Amino acid sequence: QLKQVLLSEMKKIGPRGALPSFRELRRHYQISQSTIDKAFFELEKEGFLYRIQGKGTFVAEPKEKTKEEKKNIKMVGLVVADLTISFHSDIARAVEDEAHKRDCQIILGNSDNNAQKEEIYMRRFCKQKVEGMVIVTDKSSLQNKYFQQLDGSIPLVIVDAFVDEVQADYVTTDDLTGACEATKHLLELGHRRIAHLTGRKNISTSHNRLAGYKKALVEARIGADEELIKTTDFTKEGGYQAMKELLTI
């Protein structure tokens, strides 16, 4: 109790101001010397006061923050197109894991494949002066004009699909080579009527995978049958419907 009372009084006295003597404290609060000694010992240990031999006890300057307190927590903005897609949620988890290792805090936004919502999150992150942004893109990102307004002051990493004319670091797969090798594998097994489910052609992942598929067929001297190419989206429902249509051909 005495410690809390003294802390309150010290705020009124101010830095370098003298505290009452032990005798005055004993008389005023009607407490023992041992109680005063204990309170002063803890306050001195915590850096709230200091003693000068022969002169008395004084209020210390506001204590410096520890290294941990001085170290600002770095914030990183992460926008995911659709957290219900396991691929996207896996990316979000991996980003958070790596950020945690580096004492960074993730601010997460789910854009729901909505360009306007994606832009709102990005603008918020810029206002909060995050250390960087990670955007897991989808078809909606192509309508997000805010990408072109970024001046490079905040590091930007785009994951999955490319965004035209946007200078950023990209983390993506080699879609063309992957699709080509997958198609070649089926050809090597003896298959010749090979279907391809593709996303919208204006998305880099869809475009490159389709190109890889056709490349393998051309190299095998098999023309691509446009009836076996179905445009869909990257959802289970879309894939299911496209497969139903293919099985009727």
DSSP 18: B
Measured in degrees and rounded to the nearest 5, phi and psi for residue 58 equal -130, 155
Residue 54's Cα: distance from chain center in Å?
56
Q: Round the average pLDDT of the chain to a whole number and report it.
A: 87
Look at residue 63 in the predicted model and tell me its pLDDT: 60
The list of the chain residues with pLDDT below 50 reads 70
Q: Where are the alpha helices (DSSP H) in the chain?
A: 2-13, 22-29, 33-45, 67-70, 86-101, 115-127, 146-149, 175-188, 204-219, 236-246
* Cα separations in angstroms, 110 against 114, 120, 137: 9, 11, 11
Look at residue 111 in the predicted model and tell me its pLDDT: 92
Q: Let me know if 93 is exposed, middle or buried by CB neighbors in 10 A (0-12, 13-18, 19+).
A: exposed
Look at residue 68 in the predicted model and tell me its pLDDT: 53
Helix (H, G, I), strand (E, B) or coil at 58: strand
Look at residue 195 in the predicted model and tell me its pLDDT: 95
Look at residue 51 in the predicted model and tell me its pLDDT: 85
pTM value is 0.61
Look at residue 230 in the predicted model and tell me its pLDDT: 93
Structure tokens at 13: 């006295």
Look at residue 65 in the predicted model and tell me its pLDDT: 52
Helix (H, G, I), strand (E, B) or coil at 242: helix
